[in-house]
């Protein structure tokens, strides 16, 4: 396990699968869109596998192979409209996340969220669940390339006034690993999210935690 820089002063988090368990609400909205367009619905575990690279990619994988571009776009818009209204139905922080964020704040770590989720949903969820600890929450928006490009992570560090060697990034997927690598930021992989340990190891993860509070043991 690599050492975490003793000068770390900021922790940046992915959202879905890291801070929030959003799988049930996402599955509901995916299947609402598919049903509305006369397409076969997906199982919860299928949706889990599709997550990690933004909602457009989620719907692209959820629709049947060979779906015409206009039908894909129609399904995406149906998903988006439904999810905006239902993103809080069953979504909640994972166990130990509230305690982790509270302790990080007590220790004066700066914090931010970076996500491939659409910016309105990121803003709403961050305000709903994490407004006491996190004020910077960056989602998919025009002018910023989505993860695994490093733009959103680097923007978060700029807003935190923090160098890449002064931060760690916590995420649950291969997209998060690659994002951190491209930004030259240390990455901690969360095993309570949407990917399993063997898969993350195969993608090069070398710092993994089973529960959120284990992160505190890795920080200076």
Most confident of 4-13, 116-125, 206-215: 206-215
Instruction: Identify the pLDDT of residue 4.
Output: 65
Per CATH, the homologous superfamily of domain 10-21+91-218 is: HAD superfamily/HAD-like (3.40.50.1000)
Domain covering 23-86: architecture? Orthogonal Bundle (1.10)
Neighbours of 47 (CB within 10 A): 22
Residue spans per domain, the chain: 10-21+91-218, 23-86
178/182 Cα distance (integer angstroms): 6
Instruction: Identify the pLDDT of residue 11.
Output: 98
pLDDT tier at 17 (50, 70, 90 boundaries)?
A: very high
Instruction: Identify the pLDDT of residue 118.
Output: 83
Q: Does residue 1 surpass a pLDDT of 80?
A: no
Share of the chain above pLDDT 90, in %: 88
**Mean pLDDT in the chain?**
94
Using a 10 angstrom Cβ sphere, with 0-12 exposed, 13-18 middle and 19 or more buried, the burial of residue 195 is buried
Share of the chain above pLDDT 70, in %: 98
Q: What is the mean pLDDT of residues 12-29?
A: 96
Q: Does residue 202 surpass a pLDDT of 60?
A: yes
State in Å, rounded, how far the first CA of the chain is from the last one.
Answer: 15
Q: Does residue 66 surpass a pLDDT of 50?
A: yes
pLDDT of 124-155, one tens digit each? Answer: 899 999 999 999 999 988 999 999 999 999 99
Instruction: Identify the pLDDT of residue 218.
Output: 94
Instruction: Identify the pLDDT of residue 52.
Output: 79
30/81 Cα distance (integer angstroms): 11
Instruction: Identify the pLDDT of residue 5.
Output: 61
Q: What's the pTM?
A: 0.90
Backbone torsions φ then ψ of 35, nearest 5 degrees? -65, -40
- Do the domains spanning 10-21+91-218 and 23-86 agree at the CATH topology level? no
pLDDT of 153-200, one tens digit each? Answer: 999 999 999 999 999 999 999 999 999 999 999 999 999 999 999 999
Instruction: Identify the pLDDT of residue 183.
Output: 97
Q: Does residue 91 surpass a pLDDT of 60?
A: yes
Q: Which residues of 91-110 are buried (b: 16+ CB within 10 A; e: fewer)?
A: bebbeebbebbebbeeeebb
Catalytic residue list: 14
Q: Does residue 59 surpass a pLDDT of 70?
A: yes
Neighbours of 74 (CB within 10 A): 16
Q: What is the mean pLDDT of residues 80-91?
A: 92
């Amino acid at each position: 396990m690599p050492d975490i820089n003793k000068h770390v002063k900021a922790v940046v988090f992915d959202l879905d699968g890291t801070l929030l368990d959003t799988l049930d609400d996402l599955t509901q909205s995916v299947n609402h869109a598919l049903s509305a367009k006369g397409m076969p619905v997906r199982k919860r575990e299928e949706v889990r596998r599709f997550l990690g690279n933004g909602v457009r990619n989620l719907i692209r994988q959820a629709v049947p192979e060979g779906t015409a571009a206009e039908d894909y776009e129609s399904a995406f818009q149906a998903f988006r409209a439904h999810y905006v209204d239902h993103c809080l139905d069953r979504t909640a922080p994972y166990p130990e996340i509230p305690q982790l964020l509270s302790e990080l704040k007590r220790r004066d770590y700066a914090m931010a969220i970076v996500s491939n989720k659409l910016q309105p949903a990121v803003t709403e969820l961050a305000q709903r669940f994490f407004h006491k600890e996190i004020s910077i929450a960056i989602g998919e928006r025009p002018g910023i390339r989505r993860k695994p490009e490093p733009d959103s992570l680097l923007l978060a560090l700029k807003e935190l006034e923090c160098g890449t060697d002064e931060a760690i990034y916590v995420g649950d997927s291969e997209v998060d690993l690659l994002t951190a690598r491209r930004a030259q930021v240390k990455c901690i992989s969360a095993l309570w999210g949407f990917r399993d340990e063997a898969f993350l190891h195969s993608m090069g993860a070398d710092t993994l935690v089973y529960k959120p509070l284990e992160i505190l043991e890795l920080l200076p």
